Amino acid sequence: MAMIDVTVRGAGIFGLAVAWACQRRGARVRVIDPRGVGGGASGGIVGALAPHVPETWNDKKAFQLDSLLMAPAFWAEVAAAGGADPGYLQSGRLQPIADDAALAMAQTRGRTAQTLWQGRAAWQILPAADYGAWAPVSATGWLIHDTLTARLHPRRATAALAAAIQAGGGDISPDAPEAGQVVEATGYEGLVALSTALDRKIGDGVKGQAALLRHDARSMPQLFADAIHIVPHADGTVAIGSTSENQFDDPRSTDAELEDIIARARAAFPVIADAPVLERWAGVRPRARSRAPLLGPDPRDAMRFIANGGFKIGYGMAPKVGEVMADLILDGRDNIPAGFHTRSL
C-alpha cells in the first residue's frame, strides 16, 4: 500500500467515520483495532438515531441536528461505495403522552421544532389510533411522532463503513504500524487512559444491556417509552435497549437488569409481548465528563488527535464528527464546537 496519511486507532463508529471522511478527501487511511470492526460498544444491536428535544437550543443540539440531516446521504454513499447495507432508514419515532401537562409541552415543542429543525423534519401530535397495534400504550390517546429519528443496524453499519474504506484502498488491520496523522478513537478505555494521564476525570465507561427479538416491523417507526428504545430493523428483528450502569464487574455479561428492561418493554408495547428473544447483548459505551463527544488535538501529544465519547449518540453524531475531524486533520480548519473541544479539558 502507498504511504499512509492518516492512522486511526479504533474501528468503532467514530474511528471509521473519521477514516471514511479523510479518505473521501483523498487521504490514504489505515484503521487499527485488535478487536476488529465494531468490536466494542459500536458492535451493539440497538441503533437508535434519535434527536434531542427541540428546545433550549445549544451547540450540541445544533451539531446533532446537522449530523442527522446529513445521515441519509452519508449512509447511501457508504452503501454504494462498499456494497454493504448499513440498515439505515429515517423511520421516525413514536412516544406516548402521559397527561395534559405532557400534551401541552409536546405541543410547544412541536411549534419550536418548526423553526429549529428548519422545516426538514416535524414534531407532530397524532392520535394513537392512527398506528393500530404498533402504538405504545398512551394514557391520553395521543402520541408524539417526530420524523427526524432514524435507525440503522450497528454491526451492519460498521461493516458497511469498513467495506467502503477498503473498497477505496484503505487498510483495516488488527495490528499495523502507525503513519501520518494519528487519531485515537479508542472508546471508554481511551477515556480512562486519558484521565489517568491527566490526573483528572475526563471520562469513563457506562455499561449497557440490550436484547434482540424476532418481530417483523421493519417499516414502522421506532418506539420510546419508560426510557426504553424499541428499534425495528430491516431483517425482521426488533431491538430493545438499554440499561445505563455506572458500576459493573463484567462488561459483557447480561443479568437481571436486562430481564427487567425486557419485561418493561413488553408491558409498554403489547405488540411485542410474545416475541421471542434471539440475543442478549452487553457492552460499555464511552462517556466523556461533559456527556458530549470529545474531539480535537490530544492534550498528551499535539501531533495526535482524539475522537471519542459518543455516549448513546455516537451513530447519530458520526457523519458530522467525521467531517469536522477531517477538516482539522487534513486542512487545519477547526470547526469543532467549544463544548466538544479537547482544549476545554
What local confidence, expressed as pLDDT, does residue 2 receive? Answer: 67
**Within this chain, do residues 163 and 79 fall inside the same structural domain, yes or no?**
yes
Question: How does pLDDT run across 146-205, given as a tens digit for each residue?
Answer: 999 999 999 999 999 999 999 999 999 999 999 999 999 999 999 999 999 999 999 999
Three-class secondary structure of residue 258 per DSSP: helix
What whole-number distance in Å separates Cα of residue 318 and Cα of residue 181? 20
Q: How far is Cα of residue 159 from the mean position of the Cα atoms in its chain?
A: 15
pLDDT, one tens digit per residue, over 75-112 is 999 999 999 999 999 999 999 999 999 999 999 999 99
Shared-domain flag, residues 157 and 121: no
Specify the number of domains making up the chain.
3
- In this prediction, residue 11 carries a pLDDT of 98
**Phi-psi label, residue 226: left if phi above 0, alpha if psi -120 to 50, beta otherwise:** left
Q: Are residues 133 and 56 in the same domain?
A: no
DSSP H helices, the chain, are 13-24, 59-82, 100-116, 154-167, 187-198, 256-268, 314-326
Q: What is the 3-state secondary structure (H, E, C) of 20-89?
A: HHHHHCCCCEEEECCCCCCCCHHHCCCCEECCCCCCCCCHHHHHHHHHHHHHHHHHHHHHHHHCCCCCCE
Phi–psi pair at 71, nearest 5 degrees: -60, -45
Q: Residue 1 falls within a domain, yes or no?
A: no
Q: Are residues 265 and 159 part of one domain?
A: no
Are residues 54 and 126 part of one domain?
no
CA of residue 33 relative to chain centroid, distance: 19
- Residues 6 or more apart whose CB falls under 8 angstroms from that of 263 comprise none
The residue ranges of the chain whose pLDDT is under 70 are 1-2
211, 231 contact by CB (below 8 A): no
Residues 196 and 208 in one domain: no
- Cβ-proximal residues to 73 (8 Å cutoff; 6+ apart), any chain: none
Do 225 and 337 reside in the same domain of the chain?
A: no
Residue with cell 448499513: 86
- Domain boundaries, position 104: 93-147
Residues 274 and 320 in one domain: no
**How far apart are alpha carbons 323 and 329 in whole angstroms?**
10
Q: Are residues 214 and 268 in the same domain?
A: yes
Alpha-carbon distance of 191 to 185, in angstroms, equals: 9
